[in-house]
Structure 1
Amino acid sequence: MIRLDNISKQNGRQLLFIEASAALQRGEKIGLVGPNGAGKSTLFRMITGQDQPDEGLVLVDRGVTIGFFSQDVGEMAGRSAVAEVMDGAGDVSTVAGELAALEAALANPDQADQMDALIERFGEVQARFEELGGYALEGRAREVLNGLSFSQEMMDKDVGALSGGWKMRVALARILLMRPDVMLLDEPSNHLDLESLIWLEEFLAGYDGALMLTSHDREFMNRVINKVIEIDGGTLTAFSGDYEFYEAQRAMNERQQQAQFERQQAMLAKEIKFIERFKARASHAAQVQSRVKKLEKIDRVEPPKRRQAVSFEFSPAPRSGEDVVTLRGVHKRYGSRVIYEGLDFLVRRRERCCVLGTNGAGKSTLLKLITGDTEPDEGRVVLGGSVKLGYFAQHAMELLEGERTVFQTLEDNFPLAAQGSLRALAGCFGFSGDEVEKTCRVLSGGEKARLVMAIMLYDPPNFLVLDEPTNHLDMATKEMLIAALSQYEGTMLFVSHDRHFLAALSNRVLELTPEGIHQYGGGYTEYVARTGHEAPGLHK
């Protein structure tokens, strides 16, 4: 359906692709992987014709429809979410627009003199709308939006009033409703909660077109894709199977290449030693010449390109008391909406509690009550003795000063720390060399999240409260964070939609339901085994 034929592409000084080739066939579900900046988004733009290769061809079969979801959703306003989603469905959305305009005209007393003409036109347009399956389309649009966690009220609300994350979901819903021959999805899992993510997995499992996607969620990748294309060093390499298979295969290829490299290096050293030893002896001249020629002809094996892995180790956190935080009789409401009524709950030292709950259940509110970001209407929230709290909040990234550099931001927070110590910290969180001189204004979402985390973890608290800490983080940084938090000796309370993160770090689950908090001993994996579902509100 789509072929990339010997494409080369340069972006400034960086060579993204060098005579690279790949193909996407019907029924294939491809995960596109590679380090940040390797060219994943550029590849999507070339397939959709928004960008052109410097050399080579991008070939799309005649008549193939392509739906492209990217993080840049543009402006949306003036229509309901459901109308915006239906607008992606082609002709039927144009007819729906006229039908809505005619309905408004029929209800307008100022147009009473044109009523006969309006009624006649309304009949024609309505017949055309029915013929195109318009009424069924609205039902399907609502079904998709419901799967992405929209309430009926939000579906009918002006899309311009929605936050950026919810607008992303509207843009994604447009592509899903369209059901094109090929879907290109650039980070579709970024702004989804756990329920929406699992719904999307099931939707894509039933989609019979071709799919190419990027995602930093390994569980999502494992369940959706059946092939991986890796972008690395300008080449495209295909691996059959899911993400886990790709990782294992890549590691095996690296080991084999390293062994080949070492064998060849040993052989070369032996030959060079012989040449050096006998080059001055006339009696060995022929042998020396023969070996020199042999070395000139050998194809050199390159050592495997190792991705730079960042790692971070905690300084020991001071010990807290046994009772870290206690909530007693907590009531909280926003307007007429009751979030908590008489909530009682205790977190003990060294517990790692993950908080699960459907949208609006009050996950972030619970974290804000505990951190003092919001006050209870009634009841008490009490932090235990010697508790030193660290809070990673979604809005923390917006509080970074745009004109300060990464290094200046670290210095502002730790004025007494040695420069070498702060540079080492920056390096652990992926800011090496000149990257510490980037201003916060130009940082990506992932870079901002890493900087906020570096500030929070440098002088470690003994109680970490984390609200979606893995949003925007790539897989390598997530793995670094999981490895670091696995060694952490303090207490954790966190919300995350990343199942790998939940399973790796939790030893207790708090499930928020309309009836109150359900508590489960054991981590997320035990919760799934015991309840039979991966998220509240979803049942197998």
Structure 2
Amino acid sequence: MTSMEAESVATIVCTSKQTRFNIGTPNYRELDIEGLNIIVKSGSKSGAKGKAKAKSEGTKILSNAKLRLKAGQRYALIGRNGTGKSTLLKAVAEKLIPGLPEETRITILQQTDVGDVNADEGPVPTPSEGEGPVVLEEVIERATAKQEVQKEIDILLRGVDGGDPFGALRAFRKVHHGRLQKELFLKDKDASLRSGTRGMQARKALITMEKKVAEFQSEYERKDEDITPETLAKETSEAADMLADLQLQVEPSKLAETESKAKKILTGLGFTESRMAQRVSSLSGGWKMRTALAAALLQDTDILILDEPTNFLDLLGIIWLQRHLTALAESSDPPTLILVSHDRDFISLCTDLLIIKDMDLTYFHGDLPTYEASRAEKKAHLTKMKDAQDKQKEHIQQTIQRNMREGKAKDDQNKIRQAKSRQKKLDDRWGMEVNAKGGRFKLNRDLVGYHLTARAEIDIPQDERPVSFALPDPPELRFPGALISLEKVSFRYARDAKAPVVLKDIDISVSMGDRIGILGLNGSGKSTLIKLLVEETRPSAGTATKHPRLKLGYYAQHAVEALQEMGQVDTEMTALGLLMGENGSELDEGEIRGLLGSLGLPGRLASDVPVRRLSGGQLVRLELARILRRRPHCLVLDEATTHLDYETVAALREALRGWQGAVVLVSHDRWFVRGVVEGIVGDDGEESEEDDRGGDAGGMRRRLVCRLKAGAMSVLEGGVSEFEEGVERRVRKMESS
């Protein structure tokens, strides 16, 4: 085996093991990488000395891991925030991992820091007259490289139709020269990534390619009078053939088919005809992400990587994408999918789990609920087995000690030999009673290796420290009444009576202990309703009132972006410093530290690390701490799960289910809404009875799932499932049209 390594300008260093033997034509939709190590450096270094230093000083993401992907399978990559999911995906997408063939076509949609991602409200802007392509053109170009193909066609057309007898030859050589330069770049990159035997082979290939380019360069620069008639005829014919092949790629019928596919994908992701005609440069961050997602879905690829693709989609887009990826997987030659998402309902489309934990990769064939149940069952079984063995071992040890005492006292060698024999059994043959396949352990079959003298101890898998949220209880209100109340409220953007109505005749009241979920597609008015509830805006008609002693906690959709901006303005500001410096807190420094620690920002992470260096998930925790330090009576949460890993989403869901205050929730995460609002405990639809007591009088919680549609609000008796079924019907109608 030989070790190979790669260094990225993005400070990612990868090493892996590769066999020297030729194993035939690779399947580009599969990966089989042994001994994978990934280190992220704090800064770029050059030279061998710099590389060695980087390996020792960098942050290790993976250590001697196996990366094995089967063709056509759908993998959900799961792991806590900070374990290196995005780094691993980047290493795969940029082909930094030795052993990953350069010919593999990999398409990736990465998480991107964006500014204005709110596409929920307001009219669609008219297409901009600015520079840059419109959405539809951008998607087609990214997927087909149409402009590059057209550029080569234009070069050949000018040569063939120019009337110069040498024009076609020169055009052919110009296109061929450009292609050779690209191939030389790839060979050079391949050689720089490898070491050992494979590195030597790559460098030989590079030298061969450099000679090929140099030889062609002399032909490319040869004067017309030095070109033989045979060469002229041959390359003129080759120019015509190349032109015909390129024109097939951009022929109207093929382009029309590609455009039709692009429009279908864009429509599924929420684009109207007018928005497809907008300049990409004029779009908000959320719509730019959807444009990038559409381009990724349109491409022909071997490995498709989607990192949090649902972050800026409403439920219509999420369900459409779920169905689209499932249909893609059922095609004749599907790409291999790697998906990262905190949305448990969405990742149910995956066939396998790829788990990154403790700098290693493990695999599970099945969905997340089955994996969690399997782990719990295995842990319970091994715990029971170990407890039984421990009791048996203690009994045997007592027998050994008694026999040794009696044997020595009476000089009974039989008892002494019996005691020593039993002690040897404890030392050498005590441990697992089942083998790796689940059958009964046999010493001569399952204890392989001359260096092994004893069975392995029963190893009970240790869970990571569970993610938990400690929500402070709200203070007493002193007198009863609704916390927030909207009566016959309507809203329009302008005071002019002719302006379109965004919300009309809204009636809603929020009392202590209530759980209210607000569902709706983009443009239905959810964000406007939230702003009315938190008094960021006033109604155009109707009455909005609140309890005089109400303390409100509001998590805004753009909270993370706002904290990032604050961190850029004050580069030394820490989480602890931010909370200590804000007014309105009922907590002292020790209590604030405790709150930050309970939310996943303990010790020095809270007091020493600047806010600008915190991850998206850590910024969500910081914003929750800012809200909770005031001990609110009511939490209004607008898409609070974005940026969080699935374990943290589950912990937040659990904390909110039993909290004594009121919760008003806007989210496209169906599993999260079911748990918080409807009180569903697990993935099997079982409802909780333990957390249903709440409110001032200790009565049953009021649980409402409301739908906003065209500015009007209604209560869904069937809850989230009723809304989901309605959206699925709409998606099916879109697909059939």
Confirm whether residue 84 of structure 1 aligns to residue 138 of structure 2.
yes
Q: Is 1:4–2:33 an aligned residue pair? A: yes
1:498 is aligned to 669
Identify which of 328, 349, 361 aligns with 2:488.
328
**Whole-angstrom distance in 2 between the partners of 1:270 and 1:411:** 58
2:383 to 258, 269, 278: 258
- Greater share of strand: 1
Q: How many residues are paired up?
A: 509
Partners in 1 of 2:631 and 2:134 — Cα distance?
46
Q: Is the 8 A contact 1:317 1:462 kept in 2?
A: yes
Is 1:244 aligned to 2:404, yes or no? no
1:112 alignment partner in structure 2: none
1:345 aligns with 2:507: yes
What displacement does 1:434 show? 2.3
Partner of residue 707, structure 2: 511
Q: 1:526 to 1:78 in 2, by over 3 A?
A: closer
1:129 matched to 2:212? The reply is no
Report how far residue 380 of structure 1 moved.
3.5
What is the letter of the counterpart of residue 90 of structure 1?
Answer: T
Residue by residue, what CA displacement relative to the aligned partner does 1:89-116 show, whole Å, maximum 9, x if unpaired?
Answer: 234353578999xxxxxxxxxxxxxxxx
Distance 2:359 2:35 in 1: 11
Q: Which moved more, 1:256-265 or 1:232-241?
A: 256-265
Task: For 2:296 and 2:485, locate their aligned partners in 1 and report how far apart those are by CA, in whole Å.
Answer: 44
The 3 A distance-change label for structure 1 pair 74 and 368 is closer
Measure, in 2, the Cα distance between the counterparts of 1:23 and 1:139.
35
Deviation at 1:492, TM superposition (A): 2.7
Change (3 A) 1:341 1:170: closer
Distance 1:267 1:49 in 2: 55
2:490 counterpart SS class: strand
User: Aligned in 2, Cα 1:98/1:389: closer, same or farther, shift over 3 Å?
Assistant: farther
- After superposition, the C-alpha distances for 1:394-449 in whole angstroms (9 at most, x for unaligned) are 23334434232122223234666233322221122111232213221111121111
Partner of 2:554: 391
Q: Does the Cα contact within 8 Å between 1:264 and 1:301 map onto a contact in 2?
A: no
For the residues of structure 2 that align with 1:149 and 1:218, how far apart are their CA atoms? Answer: 22
Q: Secondary structure at the match of 1:206?
A: helix
The DSSP-based 3-state class of the residue aligned with 1:322 is coil
Whether 1:156 and 2:327 are equivalent positions in the alignment is no
1:170 lines up with 2:291 in the alignment: yes
200-209 or 78-87, which deviates more: 78-87
- 1:36 aligns to 2:68 (yes or no): no
1:124-178 per-residue CA deviation (whole Å, 9 max, x = no partner) reads 9988622571122222212212211123222222212222222222111111011
Please report how far the alpha carbon of residue 368 of structure 1 lies from its aligned counterpart in structure 2 after TM superposition. 0.8
Q: Among residues 530, 538, 545, which one is paired with 1:367 in the alignment?
A: 530
Alpha-carbon distance change, 331 to 421 in structure 1, aligned in 2, over 3 angstroms: closer
Distance, in Å, in 2 between the alignment partners of 1:274 and 1:317 is 61
Aligned mates of 2:552, 2:422 — CA distance in 1: 71
Q: Helix, strand or coil for the counterpart of 2:523?
A: coil
% identical equivalent positions: 30
Counterpart for residue 17 of structure 1: 62
Which of 697, 705, 720 in structure 2 is aligned with 1:524? Answer: 720
Q: Secondary structure at the match of 1:165?
A: helix
Q: Provide the rounded CA distance (Å) in 1 between the counterparts of 2:151 and 2:379.
A: 56
Structure 1 residue 367 displacement after superposition: 0.6
Q: Relative to structure 2, which stretch is displaced further, 512-521 or 30-39?
A: 512-521
Deviation at 1:202, TM superposition (A): 0.6
Residue in 2 that maps onto 1:477: 648
Q: Distance in 1 between matches of 2:286 and 2:145?
A: 28
Residue 533 (1) aligns with residue 533 (2): no
Helix, strand or coil: the match of 1:203?
helix
Deviation at 1:500, TM superposition (A): 0.6
Q: Could you tell me which residue of structure 2 aligns to residue 103 of structure 1?
A: none
Q: Which residue of 2 aligns with 1:422?
A: 592
2: distance between equivalents of 1:131 and 1:199? 28
CA radius of gyration, larger in: 2
CA distance in 1, matches of 2:100, 2:152: 37
Conservation of the 8 A alpha-carbon contact between 1:392 and 1:467: yes
* Distance (Å, rounded) in 1 between the aligned partners of 2:316 and 2:543: 31
In the alignment, the residues of structure 2 paired with residue 323 and residue 419 of structure 1 have an alpha-carbon distance, to the nearest angstrom, of 29
Question: Bigger CA drift: 486-495 or 337-346?
Answer: 337-346
Structure 1 residues 9 and 395: CA distance shift in structure 2, 3 A:
closer
Q: Secondary structure at the match of 2:550?
A: coil
3-state secondary structure, aligned to 2:500 = strand
Q: Which amino acid aligns with 2:378?
A: N
Q: Is the 8 A contact 2:705 2:715 kept in 1?
A: yes
CA distance in 2, matches of 1:253, 1:91: 50
One-letter code aligned to 2:598: C
1:410 aligns with 2:579: yes
| Aligned: 1:308 with 2:465 | yes
By how many angstroms is 1:31 displaced? 0.9
Q: Distance in 1 between matches of 2:560 and 2:90?
A: 28
- Superposed displacement of residue 40, structure 1: 2.2
Please say which of residues 87-96 and 384-393 is displaced more in the overlay: 87-96
CA positional deviation for 1:49: 3.9
Give the counterpart letter for 1:151 in structure 2. T
Contact 1:482 1:504 in 2 (8 A): yes
Would the alpha carbon gap of residues 126 and 304 (structure 1) be closer, same or farther in structure 2, given more than 3 Å must change? closer
Identify the residue that residue 110 of structure 1 maps to in structure 2. none
2:315 is aligned, of 190, 194, 198, to 194
109, 112, 125: which one aligns with 1:69: 109
Structure 2 CA distance for partners of 1:292 and 1:127, relative to 1, 3 Å:
closer
Give distance in 2, aligned partners of 1:515 and 1:277: 83
Q: Which runs of 5+ in 1 are unaligned?
A: 101-122
Partner of 1:105: none
The alpha-carbon distance between structure 1 residues 430 and 77, as it changes in their structure 2 partners (threshold 3 A), is farther
1:94 matched to 2:220: no
Q: Structure 2 CA distance, aligned partners of 1:4 and 1:168?
A: 31
Three-state SS of the structure 1 residue aligned to 2:355 is: strand
SS for the counterpart of 1:255 is helix
